[in-house]
Amino acid sequence: MRAIVFATGYAPALTSLNERHDSVSLPLLDRPFLQHVLENLVDQGVTGFDFTLSRKPEFFESLFGTGTRWGSSFRYHLARDPEFPYRAARAIEVYFKQNPDEPVLVGHGDRLPLLRLAELRAGAGEIVMWYEAATDEAPKWTGWALVPARLLAEFPVQTDETGLEEFLRNQPAAPQLQTVAACLDFRTYEGILKSHWDAVAKVIPNLLVSGREVEPGIWLSRNVSLHPTAQLKAPVYIGENCRIEAGVQLGPQAMIGQNSVLDTHCSVTGSAVLPGSFVGEGLELNEVIVDKNRLVSIRFGVGVTVADDFMLGTLAQNPITSWLQRTLSQLTGLALLLLSWPLLLLTALVLKIVRRGKPVWYVTEVVKLPAAGPELDWKTFKLVSFTPDRRGTGWFSDLFLRLLPGLLNIAKGEAGFVGVQPRTKEELAGLPTDWQALLRQSKPGFITDCMVRYGNHPTPDEQFSSETFYAASATWWQDLRLMAGFVGKLFLPSLPTERENERVSERG
């Protein structure tokens, strides 16, 4: 049997954690939730998967590969809108043309119900839908169903999960409704925590977890440094390479993700600490999810970024190459500033005379990149320039009016020679989400890919493609090429940009 898994990561209730994770890539104990879904289904005899991804698809494509590791075959599909992923089902239907009545398992990758596929009895072409056991509310659909392949072509396109449920329930042949005993659900903060305690309690049997249960409900992974005075109350899970210091109290209900450090006398109860986090001395965590320096309260459903590293922080190290690159850029900026300060003063003097009363300096508060967290947490710096235009004004004026005074920012390490156009908080916040997310991982600079390729008046599409391309794939080699391109324009201004090339050919 083949499974179609919609794993777009759409979870509006997880906004506070959305920056680094989505509902399918968030870890359940030691691995991304979607991997548990996949492994559980492989264990039940599913032999092929069609994953529909949207947010960071490259992460799962590289993690899962072709599926040979699980003796399975994987295909990946991309959904433009994570909220409406069902259009992909129409493309997948192509592969079932020969056998349109073949039963296909369809489900959502942010839930793992206790399906017992081996015990399933369904007639040819019958639809089966799995529901959670009713408590005080109406039974909730788990998001999983078995459908004949031909139905994929009719899946509603512009609809959410409720629409899909309605579509399946309203088929001419009434579906068989089954109740599951348990369902792990990663769409809400409460669901994430409950899924952890259910997983540790083995509510879903055969869930693959690294580490071993040293006492009932106490799980330790390899290479954990646990101080003898630390107290553990089940259920507790501690991931690989964690360090638990003296006097720490863990549990009941504590999940510590791999590569985390818990400093002395802190306590974690009813909470999950995601991988690579640091919990400071004496901190008491109760009903929260900690993701590095981000703290999400389950009771209030809100997240805050903790600025003080001694309380909560990240243990991820910056690669040495990026540190070297930054330092080299700073030193070069400083050296050039020392060499060119007479020219800087002379330019200021000339502008003072030419501009007659108009400002010579322009100082703009722009966002320091990379910028993590919500807009409120973005740090800014003062960008110094002889012109209010931050996009570029012309090759020589760029050199004298932007790059020369910008050496101050480069020497201070606030910007690089090459980067993306510096933007104010308002400008950055006003960009489309994906564009903004990519730029926030980049660095600001005075020479941009966009300016070298398209000159100073790019169209929005040109600016989008060149900025996102630079943000996603910048290397020191690319920076050097762009610098060479800029210098080339200074000394060989006859070299046309791509835009100028097009204008010439249009005229021709």
| Residue 53, H or E segment | strand 48-53
- The total of other beta-carbon atoms located within 10 Å of residue 238's CB is 28
Does the footprint of other proteins cover residue 264 (CB under 8 A)? no
Tell me how far the alpha carbon of residue 475 is from its chain's centroid: 20
Instruction: Report in angstroms how near the CB of residue 301 gets to other proteins at its nearest.
Output: 27
Do 198 and 227 form a contact (C-beta atoms < 8 A)?
no
Question: 362, 378, 464, 476: which one contacts other proteins (CB under 8 A)?
Answer: 464
Binding mask 441-460 for other proteins (x = CB under 8 A): --------xx--x-------
Instruction: Report in angstroms how near the CB of residue 216 gets to other proteins at its nearest.
Output: 44
CA dihedral 438, 442, 444, 450 (to 10 degrees): -60
Instruction: Report in angstroms how near the CB of residue 79 gets to other proteins at its nearest.
Output: 8
In this complex, which beta carbon is closest to other proteins, that of residue 378 or of residue 464?
464
Q: Which stretch binds other proteins (CB under 8 A): 22-30, 72-80, 217-225, 351-359?
A: 72-80
Does the footprint of other proteins cover residue 91 (CB under 8 A)? yes
Question: 63, 81, 133, 227: which one contacts other proteins (CB under 8 A)?
Answer: 81
In this complex, which beta carbon is closest to other proteins, that of residue 282 or of residue 370?
370
Distance CA 392, CA 253 (A): 55
Ramachandran angles phi, psi of 195, nearest 5°? -60, -35
Q: Which stretch binds other proteins (CB under 8 A): 73-81, 142-150, 232-240, 356-364?
A: 73-81
Q: What amino acid is encoded at 50 in this protein?
A: D
Does the footprint of other proteins cover residue 54 (CB under 8 A)? yes
Distance CA 245, CA 198 (A): 27
Using CB under 8 A, count the residues that bind other proteins.
Answer: 38
In this complex, which beta carbon is closest to other proteins, that of residue 8 or of residue 267?
8
Question: 20, 48, 76, 412: which one contacts other proteins (CB under 8 A)?
Answer: 76
Tokens of 316: 């991820």
Does the footprint of other proteins cover residue 87 (CB under 8 A)? yes
Extended beta strands in 233-361, E state: 236-238, 243-244, 249-250, 254-256, 261-262, 267-269, 271-273, 277-279, 284-286, 288-291, 294-297, 302-305, 312-314
- Scan residues 178-207 and list those touching other proteins (CB under 8 A): none
Tell me the CA distances in angstroms from 228 to 225, 232, 243, one per residue in order.
10, 11, 12
Tokens of 315: 């243990």
End-to-end CA distance of the chain: 59
Does the footprint of other proteins cover residue 462 (CB under 8 A)? yes
In this complex, which beta carbon is closest to other proteins, that of residue 206 or of residue 433?
433
Question: 77, 108, 196, 440: which one contacts other proteins (CB under 8 A)?
Answer: 77
Q: Which stretch binds other proteins (CB under 8 A): 79-87, 136-144, 315-323, 389-397?
A: 79-87
Question: 12, 69, 73, 80: which one contacts other proteins (CB under 8 A)?
Answer: 80
Does the footprint of other proteins cover residue 78 (CB under 8 A)? yes
Do 326 and 419 form a contact (C-beta atoms < 8 A)?
no
Distance CA 90, CA 154 (A): 7
Question: 30, 93, 263, 479: which one contacts other proteins (CB under 8 A)?
Answer: 93
Distance CA 8, CA 86 (A): 10
**Whose CA is closest to 403, among 331, 395, 482, 338?**
395
Q: Which stretch binds other proteins (CB under 8 A): 23-31, 170-178, 231-239, 461-469?
A: 461-469
Does the footprint of other proteins cover residue 434 (CB under 8 A)? yes
Question: 199, 218, 438, 447: which one contacts other proteins (CB under 8 A)?
Answer: 438
Distance CA 300, CA 288 (A): 10
Q: What amino acid is encoded at 303 in this protein?
A: G
Question: 68, 71, 94, 124: which one contacts other proteins (CB under 8 A)?
Answer: 94
Which residues contact other proteins by CB under 8 A? 54, 56-58, 61, 75-78, 80-81, 87, 90-91, 93-94, 434-435, 437-438, 449-450, 453, 461-462, 464-466, 468-473, 498, 501-502, 505
